[in-house]
Amino acid sequence: MKKTQIIFLSLGIILIAVLYTLPTIVVDNDSDGVVMEENDLGNSLSFDEQHSSSLSPEAQAMIERLKGEMDLEENKEKLAIFADSTAAIYAEKGKLDSAAYFYGLVADNIPSEEKWEVAGNAYYEAFGFSMDEGKTQNLASKTRLYLNKVLEKNPERLDLKTKVAMTYVSSANPMQGITMLREILEQDPKNESALFNMGVLSMQSGQYKRAVERFEELVSIYPSNIEGQFYLGVSYFESNQKNKAKKQFENLKPLTTDPQIQTGIENYLERL
């Protein structure tokens, strides 16, 4: 579904749609050798090294062993196996940007729609949690690189197109992303992810009445979308529809056990 990451902060739970960033790997398509790291943005393994130092000794040892195997391996298929195993360890430990890098390494050495999608989704997930502007832009670029390869062959994959659109929102041309989301809704007016993200973007820009429209439409079609239900309440609150906000939050409260959303509901109800 949607992967717009929302971070809840302090009092009323201010939502920040965090999306974007990290290293790029330049692939030499004319080379017959194994594709490894290096890019025009600096040392692409710096984040990997930082993350390795924060892992358990056992995980660090496994990572170092796998990286050693990759350094020596000349067979692309075998290198991809080592890279995939390394990515899985990082993903399990929540080191999303490092996981994305190694999934990208797999996709570069064994290109296929499946590998591109795995790498693109991994970069998008890391992008969704990034708090550093520079890393966010890099992660967004890598997300587009891999997911656009899948979209070239499968333009009907609106779920992936939505993710690509959201990476543009943080770029120098955010309207490109908004235009893409509108195109998705023209193709599929009930697209859950596009409706949700258009609502989030309306909130970010302070257009809370427009956000109400988006989230009302979303939850009328997808009532189990808890995040949409929550943001509908926030949009009611911010657009000064306090009675509707109170009713929305009270109705939502028994529908979720998510601690962040529950905290948000309580904070808003205290302010109503």
**Which residues share a beta bridge with 153?**
none
- Inter-residue contact 20 to 137 (CB < 8 Å): yes
Q: What confidence score (pLDDT) does residue 56 get?
A: 59
74 phi, psi to nearest 5 deg:
-105, -15
**Over the stretch 25-41, which tens digit does the pLDDT of each residue have?**
222 333 333 333 333 33
Whole-angstrom Cα distance, residue 229 to residue 99?
32
The alpha carbon torsion through 220, 165, 202, 263 (nearest 10 deg) reads 70
Q: What is the DSSP letter of 172?
A: S
Whole-angstrom Cα distance, residue 78 to residue 272?
60
Q: What confidence score (pLDDT) does residue 1 get?
A: 32
Asked if pLDDT for residue 205 goes beyond 70, the answer is yes
Give the Cβ contact number of residue 135 at 10 Å.
Answer: 19
Contacts 24+ apart (CB under 8 A), 45-49: 45/101, 47/22, 47/23, 47/97, 47/98, 47/101, 47/135, 48/90, 48/98, 48/101, 48/102
Q: What confidence score (pLDDT) does residue 86 get?
A: 83
Residue-wise burial string across 35-58, b where 16 or more C-beta atoms lie within 10 A, e elsewhere: bbbeeebeebbebbeebbeebeee
Average confidence score pLDDT of the chain:
79
Q: What confidence score (pLDDT) does residue 57 get?
A: 61
pLDDT cut 70: percent of the chain above it = 73
**Domains assigned to the chain:** 20-168 (1.25.40), 170-272 (1.25.40.10)
**Over the stretch 145-174, which tens digit does the pLDDT of each residue have?**
999 999 999 999 999 999 999 999 878 888
More confident site: 109 or 58: 109
| Global pTM value | 0.74
SS3 (DSSP) at 75: coil
Whole-angstrom Cα distance, residue 44 to residue 113?
24
**Among 106, 62, 69, which residue's Cα sits nearest to residue 84?**
106
- Inter-residue contact 267 to 11 (CB < 8 Å): yes
Residue 53 CA, distance from chain mean position: 24
Paired tokens of 173: 């041309």
Paired tokens of 57: 């000794």
- From residue 34, give the alpha-carbon distance in Å to each of 108, 120, 128, 217, 251: 9, 20, 30, 49, 56
Q: What confidence score (pLDDT) does residue 103 get?
A: 94
Cβ neighbors of 30 (< 8 A, separation 6 or more) are none
Give the Cβ contact number of residue 213 at 10 Å.
Answer: 15
Q: What confidence score (pLDDT) does residue 15 get?
A: 38
